[in-house]
Structure 1
């Protein structure tokens, strides 16, 4: 069976278009997927979203309609060309993209600062004008840099943009990615590393995207870390470990406990599903994941 496209390839395509434990004791938690007419009402404690790239073979109009029926409030990783469709369905662009170069050439390398600063200076006002808040960014690959050099370079590249973001009430959000399996050599690969950068920038307009899948791979101890560093986290992504598939009994994380821990921090942002569905009915998998995370 052919493997699904990687996120790296999917994000590249999007950019082009936008210029746990499985035991009998917990098995009852993973209930059969309810159909739209019998789906339990969501509790309203979690703002649910999903990443567009995981469902890119579903036309956007169809995906937006399904998202509304499931109870999503937003869709992640969508650029300006697709914003009108989201607005048509009353959905937030919960994590905007389109200003980044890619996942490897980021703010930790000064040779990319000029291009990145131009892209983000153009995109920040567009995000604000559309009524959105979050715009993703990346550290880039380490390429032999020390932690200190990476922090210093990121601060230099991001500081003027964070100031601009504050003027427009936009938040630049750097994603934490694992450097062990999926994004070899990525520098912002630990929660503490990202939190140190956030402290140095010293602004509520720079935060972290805590990807639960990625951080389980690189550091584990998910609940302790998100609890300790929650002041610097403004967004979450999900994904089953191993494999980044459904967040069900087939993987090692127990998402209801993770969601309760997120709620306990007072979090009011978005939790976006970012798993690659392995089941034939991708939307049924998404519906089930949202119900599982709706604590």
Structure 2
């Protein structure tokens, strides 16, 4: 989502040279060998190609494509493998929208995620379930809120299934981000950020990300924080603002 004027491998190399790790979306459209050759460290990629959580056929498709994603991830050093409540099309919309999530769907999702966690355990990888917002970007997505993803991850109770807590989506759908971070900490495998509105880098919208960063540090979070945001003006400025927002302030000299 940054340095978009460059080919994907060059984006990865540029971020690596700036001292950042890299995340990629749909691995089926990327040259994984070329990405690996950049020397970048990869922390997350899409963990499925199709399928969904809420019915048996969709679950089988999800498991099959998750297995393919595990093999692809090995090329990039086995980053976390990201999931959503259902398959998304090229515009980020659900392939099969769900207007009402029933109790039976919740039970089916939990069973499917148990299978996903068992798959991750067999192969030594971690899947992360990401919350999304339905008001702006992903209408019709089931299990979309951070509260939903936390409930499912906690119900499965496996270190191979964690939350990808996306604070951009959470700000739109739930708000109260500092308390959300504190409540979710035991299940977080990754945090993603962008500002609201606009989905650009921290400092361009309404979220005071230095306060969120302080809450993460105080809660003891030591995992990945990822910028999943468009550059408002310039990509170099965007990643610098991101780094500044999540860099602890230096203590004053005595």
- Scaled by the length of structure 1, what TM-score is found? 0.73
> Contact 1:138–1:175 at 8 Å: present in 2 too?
yes
Confirm whether residue 63 of structure 1 aligns to residue 8 of structure 2. no
Pick from 65, 72, 75 the counterpart of residue 23 of structure 2.
75
CA change 1:126–1:278 in 2 (3 A) is: closer
Per-residue CA shift, 1:99-149, capped at 9, x if unaligned?
232xxx621243412221211123224424653141011112562443533
CA change 1:270–1:83 in 2 (3 A) is: farther
1:198, distance to aligned residue in structure 2 (A): 1.0
1:175, distance to aligned residue in structure 2 (A): 0.8
Residue pairs, 1:250-289, within 5 angstroms: 250-279=204-233, 281-289=234-242
Larger mean Cα displacement after TM superposition, 157-166 or 71-80: 71-80
Confirm whether residue 94 of structure 1 aligns to residue 48 of structure 2. no
Pick from 107, 110, 115 the counterpart of residue 61 of structure 2.
115
CA distance in 1, matches of 2:12, 2:154: 37
1:243, distance to aligned residue in structure 2 (A): 1.4
CA distance in 2, matches of 1:76, 1:207: 18
1:294, distance to aligned residue in structure 2 (A): 2.0
Confirm whether residue 132 of structure 1 aligns to residue 78 of structure 2. yes
Per-residue CA shift, 1:153-208, capped at 9, x if unaligned?
11222322211211211111111001111111222222221111112212111111
> Structure 2: any 5+ residue segments left out of the alignment?
87-93, 249-254
RMSD, matched Cα: 2.2
CA distance in 1, matches of 2:179, 2:47: 32
Residue pairs, 1:1-295, within 5 angstroms: 53-77=1-25, 79=27, 81-97=30-46, 99-101=48-50, 106-128=52-74, 130-140=76-86, 143-146=98-101, 148-248=103-203, 250-279=204-233, 281-295=234-248
CA distance in 2, matches of 1:54, 1:100: 23
CA distance in 1, matches of 2:130, 2:25: 12
2:90 corresponds in structure 1 to none
- Scaled by the length of structure 2, what TM-score is found? 0.84
1:270, distance to aligned residue in structure 2 (A): 1.1
CA distance in 2, matches of 1:230, 1:147: 27
CA distance in 2, matches of 1:154, 1:188: 9
> Contact 2:16–2:41 at 8 Å: present in 1 too?
no
Per-residue CA shift, 1:73-99, capped at 9, x if unaligned?
233436274433343333222112262
CA distance in 1, matches of 2:157, 2:201: 36
1:20 corresponds in structure 2 to none
> Contact 1:83–1:93 at 8 Å: present in 2 too?
no
CA distance in 1, matches of 2:216, 2:32: 28
Per-residue CA shift, 1:62-81, capped at 9, x if unaligned?
32232123210233436274
